Structure 1
């Protein structure tokens, strides 16, 4: 995302006991959080390089898939195609129908699924600016359904008869404060009181809870915790328990009176998501998305009495990301969707242990139990696949990109219908399958990338460069080596000569995937090797004009994938005493300076290194703009680099942001896409030139990638993107087809810096060892000036931009 925020879219109590994951699959011993001397989980297996080379991301014809971080997806049961990003589903009181809400970037929808046939029997579509968002509820008599329409500040009300939904007048929420200021409550989770007279609403962006009279539509709102997302009603029918996804609490809200009142708060785990009430009404179970746990709350004492770990092993780091919950009819088993592990945990509540896991589609988001059968919504189904069909993303084309070719909207969610395993043998088989799906394919040899933090390596300095939005084929498709499609290559030697020459001369990495779909999620992967449930559910609303906030690149606690003070790469470096410098990561402009919201990062930030997209990366030849540009980015970086040379010392890690290849598309008066890519490419070439002619060349690696690939086509998968490893130890001219991802690069940075992995994802990823050799080639690199004129400007009349994120 460029800081200019240009929109480019066309389309409690403390736990008394901790319950271990008994019976869960066990991975090999891994590193403790924060690093240490033990090898990580990902280091324990040794797989032949050929197996890695054969693995690519995307759906398979046999109904399985591989995610962009390398996990295999083999869903159990019957599969039904849904819409884009199904985040929730509720069963009709009669049990015959399941109502699903699809909350993706493109056309959102409500769908009715016949549970006897598992077929979608009705779809109600809502193109932007009409919206849906998480919240669903049925009236007790089953004649009315309610659905949150967050961007429209209303609750949709739908009559249900004869197996069909018919929308009628909505319940409207306030759009202004008492003093007349604009207000976006952004309704999320819903619950209907037992007599059907009141609807309780979690107002996620309003930090509030609303109670609506279902007959009159009259509403009353009360301030609540941070980013409330879910409502579960107590057995008494007038006490609501509201999960505050932006903190670690559940609010207790009395909804009996004329206006709701917050009467207390229960402390649970970090970033709670959905919750479910026991049949007795005595216990509440809460999924803690960034604590990888489920809290069991005694509603008499309002305290957590047990905590169930959702981690795949005792050694596993954060990353299971539990979201949805369901109980069987006897309160004996709890079912939990682990969005990060693509599984549903089966918890034995009587004995307090996890019995096993059921494999699901990619990113399970909700689970419903009915008559010993589970219905599981998989937000990303089987993934994306290629996006090289008609209407693929092209920044030089002023027409609309096809939603079926845009990674932000092309992924189809699914519904898995699975019989609850009756025998231990069946559940054991499922559990083993989950373990195999998430087992790391690692162990490619190499003496340069450390096998564990602290091992010896000739690399003493890492320069981590992140660019914006390009796919592999769009820049390297015609390289003449590697798995490319020349027909999709838009930026060639005229506009990307350095990127292409560096890929030729050093290592051609042709099987590297961006872990996120768009910048809003991808920058979380770039910096903390995870994108949490809050981010994943809200970014589509931000990208589609549906009033969602941009959930990245700022110091908001809800964006952190674990402890907000210990989530990001720079925080881990700081805690380990590793030196680093920041050039453009997570900063905002204040006058003629830029500052990071995180004080740890800001203390090591170059306050003159701007991040506005309208300002050049290198040449300074852009047409005049209103962006108040300072020194071109690479020139500002070079000032610091020359000081490092003079001092004979350089930080161990540098974060460098070159966002110019994002482009402004065909916006009139702005540089053409090729001009911006050329300027960006020239900046990278100048950086490598400077390093390779310096005293630091012998022990430095420049690792380069894009945050994501959303504005380019690719014949392998829409997530495939660029990656470069530039060092005397990678100057081989060979092709490396090992399966890598953003998490692999984060892991590789950490290994060189001497710190452990951040999450399950980089711990399980394949470090980029195969790109290195222990026989260095110290030949320096000389920058190539692009022949495409970097002062080229779009002419008038080309105002429509393709999807490109922020």
Structure 2
């Protein structure tokens, strides 16, 4: 079961690959399947024998060495090529006896003609039919390069935004480059001494994979955020039709097609739908799907060969427990093992699927996919209750929603010893002294012990938090960013490539609210500080609704007053004080916005870095701010019509006895003041869906459409008793010293942005700071089977 709640029951035989396989190509003689693994941990190139699907060779690339999605063979099969991502190279290999021998790489330019540094970040590759030239999509340079393989000379030309894949015309004179960050395919004339852009063919949003039919008359383009395939006539350079991939009528986006392949007879097109964990089988004569084949989690490549499909699955069968050697432990000086860190522990898989069952088998597979993803319902479980509307537009007593997002805690770290709900007291780091409000709110309102972040890390988490999706661009890019491989941070900025929806200008919840004329105010979401310390946002819609005096992510600035002293002059007021200032004005004027987004980041902590607050002080600072926010609202006239939702962007920063995706979640309102435990399976998408229903918004993606709204947390009988904040008894001004546990290790951590740290040593430092320098942190787990009843888990295990 994935964190969003989809079941995964892959067809065929499963073999283990490396970390995050993104592509697979077949050698010209069909004797080798070459796979690139481009995850956060050790990246690799693997050779698979297609006769038995066994990996026969692995070439490893520990960071900062890298590979990316691009793979190609020379026409004679004697050479192979793999893109080197942030290393700005193309790996080259001699091929002999079914094995690769690495040779001298092709080095791409690191400066433009003006002498300015450039990050080419090679992605897709293609070798011309004569074997003389290599065409490269330069992902982060918005360019394409043609390399002369004889002398190594090369020429580069500008194309569209974030180019990804390359296809060539049969004569080798024309190249087609998908512009994944936009909605075009750049057409290049490469017949001369330098490539020239002839035109750009407009296709769907965020095109990635591209494949040509046997005669190169037709191109098929996967439109990653339009959930369709564009069919392009090569001669006219025009789209002749689109093939829809929506799994049900009027479905929002979320299928995320990211790989294509034509059947050997050219009659069918296979499309990997990464978001739906399936392969769509397209009947090209009819121009629509004939059926669906279930895969493992997040399929990324599909290769047909002799009546079989070979499918790479980036996230395989999920994580399982991460309690082996090298688990994330903030009390150890050893680095986190890639096999135990949430961002890299999931192993990719290769599904080998026999297609000998005909249409009857395809119908059975289709029914499996529909059942796994809840498509038979169309929009997933519906809301039922007197407070959360069942459908958009129905009445609700809730007129104001406040959405608070914090940083990286697991459920057990704050609530494990709550004596209510499914907690493990031995894992509870922050108790009544440092997190009294988080704990009291769970006791007094509804306790949520089965809530999961839909992401492994913040780069995905923030996309899920505000857009209910993380698209292929982000999923492919964040591992290189987190592992020092020179990719940009694919989240929390205005890059249209990141926006996970059909229209990048209407992909986020604030844009949907703006479209409907619903008022909103932003405190810290997607914000950065300008030179004067003011908060600014790249997106103009969000920037217009932003409080520019509210401090963005900066661990040197406090969440609440009376805690640690700000360490930079531009911090301004503590975050909660600035929020309270504006709330008082809204209360006076009677014009509180319908939706507020409030970022309280300091429970992230700085580990035990000397001179910075202790982990307890940081969490107490954060908790005191949350308590004051609820106190302020509950003592105002707006209390009776307000719901406050609180969660973490992800839960990667420590252990949880159920699963390391399980995180802290709060729903605070007079309509949730019951003291009950709600153990319904919820995720980030559930919270987003509930907020949408309260504000009158339709789902943004298939994931919030599917997610169970948090209706079981509400009651029709409100209790208007106000909440009084509890000031933590932990020392709010305490700072780490050079003698704090692992202070030297913590000093080396990069805390300027989320998730740029070694999680194991960071978590270990936090644990030792709280439990003592000689204590040993228990192992975190990644096992969503523990989140469902035993009979359901058995059903999952028994599925074919």
Moved over 6 A (4+): none
> Residues 508 and 733 of structure 1 are in contact (CA less than 8 Å); yes or no, is this contact kept in structure 2?
yes
The match for 2:446 is 507
Cα distance between partner residues in 2 of 1:517 and 1:182: 32
Confirm or deny that 1:538 pairs with 2:439: no
The match for 1:281 is: 216
Select the residue among 583, 598, 607 that pairs with 2:539.
598
Contact 1:192/1:200, CA 8 A, preserved across alignment? yes
**TM-superposed deviation, 1:443:** 4.3
Matched, 1:313 2:248: yes
Question: In the alignment, is residue 517 of structure 1 matched against residue 459 of structure 2?
Answer: no
1:461 paired residue number: 400
Aligned to 2:428: 489
Query: Is this contact kept in 2: 1:211–1:219, CA < 8 A?
Result: yes
User: Is the contact between residue 398 and residue 801 of structure 1 (CA under 8 Å) also seen in structure 2?
Assistant: no
Partner of 2:598: 656
Deviation for aligned residue 1:459: 1.2
Label 1:215 to 1:487 Cα distance change in 2 as closer, same or farther (>3 A).
farther
Corresponding residue for residue 805 of structure 1: 755
| Deviation of the 1:81 alpha carbon | 0.8
What's the secondary structure of 1:284's corresponding residue?
strand
Task: Say whether residues 1:582 and 2:517 are aligned partners.
Answer: no
Distance in 2 of aligned mates of 1:805 and 1:181:
29
The aligned residue for residue 174 of structure 1 is: 109
Partners of 1:422 and 1:194 in 2: how far apart? 36
CA distance in 1, matches of 2:399, 2:324: 44
Q: Of 684, 695, 708, which aligns to 2:637?
A: 695
Contact 2:69–2:83, Cα closer than 8 Å, also in 1: yes
Q: Which moved more, 1:171-180 or 1:394-403?
A: 394-403
Contact kept in structure 1, 2:415 and 2:428, CA below 8 Å:
yes
**Partner in structure 2 of residue 13 of structure 1:** none
**Which has the larger displacement, 211-220 or 112-121?**
211-220
Q: Which of the numbers 733, 755, 761 marks the counterpart of 1:791?
A: 733
Matched, 1:252 2:252: no
Alignment partner, residue 495 of structure 2:
556
Residue of structure 1 in register with 2:301 after alignment: 366
More helix by share: 2
Tell me by how many angstroms 1:488 deviates. Answer: 2.0
Q: 1:539: Cα distance to partner?
A: 0.7
Deviations 1:354-407 (Å, cap 9, x if unpaired)? Answer: 101000111111111111211111111112233355544345655422322221
1:448 deviates by: 1.2
The match for 1:123 among 58, 73, 89 is 58
CA offsets 1:660-711 (integer angstroms, 9 cap, x no match): 1112223332222222111111110110111111111111111000001111
Q: Using the TM superposition, name which of 592-601 and 603-612 deviates more.
A: 592-601
1:34-78: CA deviations, max 9, x gaps?
xxxxxxxxxxxxxxxxxxxxxxxxxxxxxxxx1111111110001
Change (3 A) 1:271 1:444: closer
What 5-or-longer segments of structure 2 have no aligned partner? 739-743, 757-800
What is the aligned counterpart of 2:267 among 308, 332, 337? 332
Match of 1:565 in 2: 505
* Alignment partners' CA distance in 2, 1:479 and 1:111: 47
Q: What is the alpha-carbon distance in structure 2 between the residues aligned to residue 773 and residue 389 of structure 1?
A: 42
Equivalence for 2:73? 138
In 1, the alpha carbon distance for the partners of 2:524 and 2:332 equals 29
Q: Deviations over 1:471-521 (max 9, x none)?
A: 112221222221222222222222111111111221111111111211111
Query: Is the alpha carbon distance of 1:183 and 1:120 closer, same or farther for their aligned partners in structure 2, counting shifts above 3 Å?
Result: same
* Contact persistence 2:558–2:566 (CA under 8 A): no
Distance 1:491 1:668 in 2: 20
State the secondary structure of the residue aligned to 1:535: helix
Cα distance in 1 for partners of 2:155, 2:569 equals: 43
Q: Is the 8 A contact 1:399 1:802 kept in 2?
A: no
Alignment-derived partner of residue 626 in structure 2: 684
1-structure distance, mates of 2:473, 2:348: 18
Residue from 140, 149, 167 that aligns with 1:214: 149
Between the aligned partners of 1:682 and 1:714, the Cα distance in structure 2 is 24
Q: Please tell me whether the aligned partners of residues 473 and 713 of structure 1 are also in contact (alpha carbons under 8 angstroms).
A: yes
Show CA shifts across 1:576-616 (max 9, x none): 11111111111221223212222211221111001123211
1:434 is aligned to 369
Does structure 2 retain, via aligned residues, the 8 Å contact 1:393–1:802?
no
Cross-structure match for 2:578? 636
- CA distance change for structure 1 residues 669 and 526 in 2, over 3 Å: closer, same or farther? same
- 1:548-568 Cα offsets, whole Å, 9 max, x none, are 001111111111112112111
Instruction: Give the alignment's Cα RMSD to 1 decimal.
Output: 1.6
Map 1:587-626 → 2, pairs under 5 A: 587-590=527-530, 591-611=532-552, 612-619=554-561, 621-623=563-565, 625-626=567-568
Query: What SS does the corresponding residue of 1:581 show, helix, strand or coil?
Result: strand
Q: Give the Å deviation of 1:261.
A: 1.6
Indicate the residue corresponding to 1:193 in structure 2.
128
Task: For 2:637 and 2:626, locate their aligned partners in 1 and report how far apart those are by CA, in whole Å.
Answer: 19
SS in 2 for 1:240: strand
Q: Verify the 8 A CA contact 2:53 2:352 in the aligned structure 1.
A: yes
Equivalence for 2:722 = 780
Task: Report the equivalent of 1:61.
Answer: none
Distance in 1 of aligned mates of 2:682 and 2:85: 37
Cα distance change on mapping 1:601 and 1:726 into 2, 3 Å: same
Paired residues, what number? 741
In structure 1, stretches of 5+ residues that fail to align are 1-65
Change (3 A) 1:628 1:394: farther
Residue aligning to 1:41: none
Residue 790 of structure 2 corresponds to which residue in structure 1? none
For residues 557 and 428 of structure 1, the distance between their equivalents in structure 2, rounded to whole angstroms, comes to: 37
Which structure's relative contact order is higher, taking Cα pairs within 8 Å and 6+ residues apart? 1
Distance in structure 1 (CA, Å) of the matches to 2:319 and 2:614: 29
